[in-house]
Chain A
Amino acid sequence: MLKSTRRDFVKGASSLALGAAFASPALIEAARAWAAESPWKPEDGAKLRMLRWKRFVQSEGEAFQASLDAFTKATGVEIRLDSEGFEDLRPKAAVAANIGSGPDVIWGIHADAHLYPDAMLDITDVCDHLGGKYGGWYPIAEHYGKGRDGKWINLPITISGNLINYRKSMVQKAGFDKIPDNTADFLKLFQNLKKNGSPGGFALGNASGDGNCWTHWILWSHGGRVVDENDNVVVNSPETVAGLEYVKELGENFVQGTASWLDGHNNKAFLQGACSVTNNGISIYAAAVREGMKDVAEDMDHAFYPVGPVGEPTEFHVAFPMMPYKHTKYPNAVKALLAWLMEKEQYDAFLQGSVGYLSHSLKAFQEHPVWTEDPKRTVFRDVAQRSRSFAHAGTLGYAASTVFADFVVVNMVAEVATGARSPQDAAKRAQKRAERYYKV
């Protein structure tokens, strides 16, 4: 019963959105009312170009487009929206920063704005306004949003959750009702799964999303970290080694081939039933629902990562912030647009359209129905509160981004999980690699 209504709902939502690729009259009305009140008045004749990552789900893309359309109707600012694959966006964002030209706003990923903070427009006023109006930002949003001098240099509009995905039937067969909440039992689960011939597995390849998410969780769960508060590299620590010892045992129970897995592999293996437990966004579930793979959709669920010896959640979720470029000719139009994109009038629809892929970064949206209408989405509601940034204790910047992009943590964990190095050696090597970049 429940399932069929959910599916109908998803279908209904997307077909509705299909018709509404342009804003509904109500949304335009709301935008007009909002524009009249807004402290940011776009320049006359302003035109904006915006580049975003290719939407995950059509309904989100359409909700977003409708929102832009309403903004155009209300303010007269024309917006040209292009989209680009998620990984391919980063070079473009870098080029735009480098040559001081290109799109006015890029909806990017991670903390790219911190790589070229001087190329970013100061949007402190917009973010303060939004934070004040909507119950405040989650700490992680503030961490990503603000540059070193405390000015907001990008808008942390959303965080995309990456959590444990599991097959209920296989986990139950392995003797657990649900994913255990601590790492010790989690290991037992993996051992049992392997024994039952339905192993789980996490990506150990250079998978920028899934690989980074779960390896940082493991590292942090045992108290390890790449750098301390003063950006000293401390990855080679007893805590890290303890985490890696854990990985060694866990890794022995992985499904074959995880060493090669990139972001897409676990989706495929999970949908095919070849992998019982993995980490991912909501995309596997969404695909199962969309493709009518009833068995998979009904048999799967999501859970938080188990908590390690440190006793608190140590999760990493991917931020998708909007980067306003200083080179824009129309800074006020950019500010007005960014403010509008987080106003309730349309953010509600945006969250709804995202069907759990994207989570809110402002506290006021915690009660949004998208999180409760399908209980399998509910855990994704809390990702912003539970997430750390990849720099964690240290500062976001070149060193953190480079260490992250160079897969230092992923490689360290993979070396141990595949048995290529001992935990001690792997930690030592990671220390050396990280030090190179933090020396800068």
Chain B
Amino acid sequence: MATTTEAEQVTPVGEDSSWYERLKHNRNWLGFLFMVPAAAILLVFLAYPLGLGVWLGFTDVKVGRPGQFVGFDNYAWLLEDDVFWLSVFNTFLYTVVASIFKFAIGLWLAVLLNRHMPFKSFLRAIVLLPFIVPTVLSALAFWWIYDSQDSVISWTLIEMGLIERPIDFLGDPNNARASVIVANIWRGIPFVAITLLAGLQTISPSLYEAATIDGANEWQRFWRITLPLLTPIIAVVMTFSVLFTFTDFQLIWVMTRGGPINATHLMATLSYQRAIIGGSLGEGAAIATAMIPFLLAAILFSYFGLQRRKWQQGGVDD
């Protein structure tokens, strides 16, 4: 709040009483004006359909047929549906494991790339590649890499004498979960790494120099300088990474369609399967709506959790 009052003191210029002048300086009016473009798009193309989606969750609307309000029927159904609960479990597993790895490897990669080394910019550019290829198509490449008969990974391990028969990557429930998570991590690392790298660049080398003079070792410097200063960007990056992982769809849809025996069904894919392929729009919408509290919790956790650390470090906010 300190900054807010400070900032308010700076607007005493609004003495001119002309309408235009007041508009120019009244922060609420200006704020409104600045919000118009984003708000227009988000309200029309997001808030309204979102409301519609939530409402659909309380109806028994089928594709092509109007439905009736059924209250919490869809949710009551879902509570008893073990496929739904399996998808909830999978979604959590997928999100938590993939996010942790994406963060750890991404941060590590960012730190490595932040060093002075030959071909630095070339490396930085190629690291972004997995992020660039359309996900549907890279998922197809993984489809083949994970093939049950002719996986190149299996063949390599067999040639090296490490295993005897091909690994059943996508056929065994746990292998399948691990495999899709690896594919997701593969796709997600560049975004995390490059954004964190951007954050690393903003940290002044003088801080490290000072710390070195004070006798801090490398680990301490990372822990006391890099991490705290990186926290705001970590908060944003990880929140979004969690969000995207949680609502992932394309990768699973191409590689497993939720199989084997629904072991990799995520809430998003199950909702699509039931709503679009199966035609139960209401139920599909209910599954999607059921993601909201989880997402909300994930966001609040990563946002406020990480943000708070920053305040404790004496950050500028509120």
Contact = CB atoms under 8 A, between A and B. Distances in A.
Given A205-B257, A206-B259, A433-B83, A94 B63 contact: yes
Contacts of A258: 148, 171
A398 B279 contact: yes
Nearest to A260: B170
B260 A204 contact: yes
A73 B280 CA distance: 42
Contacts of B81: 433, 436
Contact of A256 (B80, B149, B278, B280): B149
A206 B166 contact: no
B283 to A, nearest CB: 9
Nearest to A398: B62
Contact of A115 (B62, B173, B259): B62
Contacts of A115: 62-65, 279
A205 B256 contact: yes
B149 A420 contact: no
23 contacts: A90-B277, A94-B64, A94-B276, A98-B64, A205-B257, A206-B256, A206-B262, A208-B257, A257-B149, A257-B169, A257-B170, A257-B171, A260-B260, A262-B259, A268-B147, A275-B149, A398-B279, A406-B83, A411-B261, A411-B262, A415-B261, A420-B261, A437-B280
A343 to B, nearest CB: 30
B64 to A, nearest CB: 3
B contact patch SS: loop
B21 interface: no
For this complex, into which size category does the number of interface residues on chain A fall?
35 or more
Nearest to A408: B83
Interface-centre pick from B64, B81, B262, B278 (highest chain A CB count, 10 A)? B64
A436 B278 CA distance: 13
A407 B77 CA distance: 18
A180 B77 CA distance: 44
A206 B258 CA distance: 7
Interface string B26-47: 0000000000000000000000
A116 interface: yes
B135 to A, nearest CB: 15
Contact of B278 (A98, A205, A255, A405): A405
A74 interface: no
Interface string A182-209: 0000000000000000000000111110
Contact of A414 (B64, B146, B260, B274): B260
Given A258-B148, A260-B168, 18 more contacts: A94-B279, A115-B63, A115-B65, A116-B64, A116-B65, A118-B65, A205-B259, A206-B257, A206-B259, A257-B149, A260-B148, A262-B259, A265-B148, A274-B149, A275-B149, A398-B62, A411-B261, A433-B83
A98 B262 CA distance: 29
Give the most central of B83, B176, B276, B278: most A CB within 10 Å. Answer: B278
B184 to A, nearest CB: 17
Interface string B46-77: 00000000000000101111000000000001
Interface in A397-438: 398, 401-402, 404-407, 411, 414-415, 418, 420, 429, 433, 436-437
Contact of A418 (B63, B261, B274, B277): B261
A414 B261 contact: yes
A319 interface: no
A260 B176 contact: yes
Contacts, number: 132
A402 B256 contact: no
B165 interface: yes
Interface string B213-226: 00000000000000
A261 interface: yes
Contacts of A260: 146, 148, 168-171, 176, 256, 259-260
Given A268-B147, A406-B273, A98 B257 contact: no
A97 interface: yes
A440 interface: yes
B164 interface: no
B277 A405 contact: yes
Contact of A262 (B172, B257, B261, B279): B257
Contacts of A407: 262
A115 B166 CA distance: 43
B83 A205 contact: no
Nearest to B63: A94
B171 A259 contact: yes
A269 interface: yes
B256 A262 contact: yes
Interface string B77-90: 10011110000000
B209 interface: no
A150 interface: no
A218 interface: no
Of listed A119, A262, A407, residue having the most chain B CB within 10 A: A407
Contacts of B317: none
A272 interface: yes
A407 B263 CA distance: 13
Contact of A269 (B63, B83, B149, B278): B149
A157 to B, nearest CB: 21
Nearest to B165: A256
Contact of B260 (A97, A116, A259): A259
